[in-house]
Structure 1
Amino acid sequence: MPFCETRPENGAELVPTDNSAPHKVDLSSKIKEQKVVVDELSNLKKNRKVYRQQQNSNIFFLADRTEMLSESKNLLDELKKEYQEIENLEKTKIKK
């Protein structure tokens, strides 16, 4: 059964640091994972049940499929936006 990755506590904020390469790789990995979650939720039959994992726990609760899909898409968009901001920062550093 599909699951949704938990959101970061402070949202998907870009924190400029000198070690953006490891962050970029980690972010790329999270984007790939979130794409799989969105794809899995998109291809579920309407009558399938979806569960959300309680944060910092091994407990799962029944959730609404369409709501989970919407949240997963929003999280994917945030991750992509953050990744693009890192890309733009790297391009501006190269130009200088």
Structure 2
Amino acid sequence: MPSGGTRPEDSTVLVSTDTSTAHKESLSSKIKEQKIIVDELSNLKKNRNVYRQQPNSNIFFLADRTEMLSESKNTLDELKKEYQEIENFEKTKIKK
């Protein structure tokens, strides 16, 4: 006899959808932040100093501007790729 409640597999889909939505929003925020960093570094004058903050610290060290720009662009590309993979996964999931 069928019960009136939800099936366990239904709740699993909802939880994973909520998790992927939260992760997607987080990635979107990180992408926006990284775009700003890339733009700021791109528009700096050649003679300006750039500093890198050490993880979990309030200490900054002088860094090479072109190296920082390159790393920031690579990070942005990786974030965009991960975001695109999530979107593609969701699209294929919807089709099924």
Give the Cα–Cα distance (whole angstroms) in 1 for the partners of residues 28 and 36 of structure 2: 13
Matched, 1:58 2:93: no
Alignment of structure 1 residues 1-96 onto 2, 5 Å: 18=16, 19-96=19-96
- Indicate the RMSD between aligned Cα atoms, in angstroms: 1.0
Give the Cα–Cα distance (whole angstroms) in 2 for the partners of residues 27 and 61 of structure 1: 27
Q: Normalising by the residue count of structure 1, what TM-score does the alignment of the two structures yield?
A: 0.82
Cα displacement (A) at 1:31: 0.0
* Deviations 1:26-51 (CA, angstroms, capped at 9, x unpaired): 00000000000000000000000000
Give the gaps of 5 or more residues in structure 2.
1-14
Give the Cα–Cα distance (whole angstroms) in 1 for the partners of residues 30 and 78 of structure 2: 11
* Deviations 1:2-25 (CA, angstroms, capped at 9, x unpaired): xxxxxxxxxxxxxxx811000000
Larger Rg: 1 or 2?
2
Give the Cα–Cα distance (whole angstroms) in 2 for the partners of residues 92 and 69 of structure 1: 35
* Deviations 1:46-78 (CA, angstroms, capped at 9, x unpaired): 000000000111110000000000000000000
Q: Greater helix percent: which structure?
A: 2
AA of the residue aligned to 1:60 = F
Q: How many residues align?
A: 80
- SS of residue paired to 1:23: helix
- What is the percentage of aligned positions where both structures have the same residue? 84
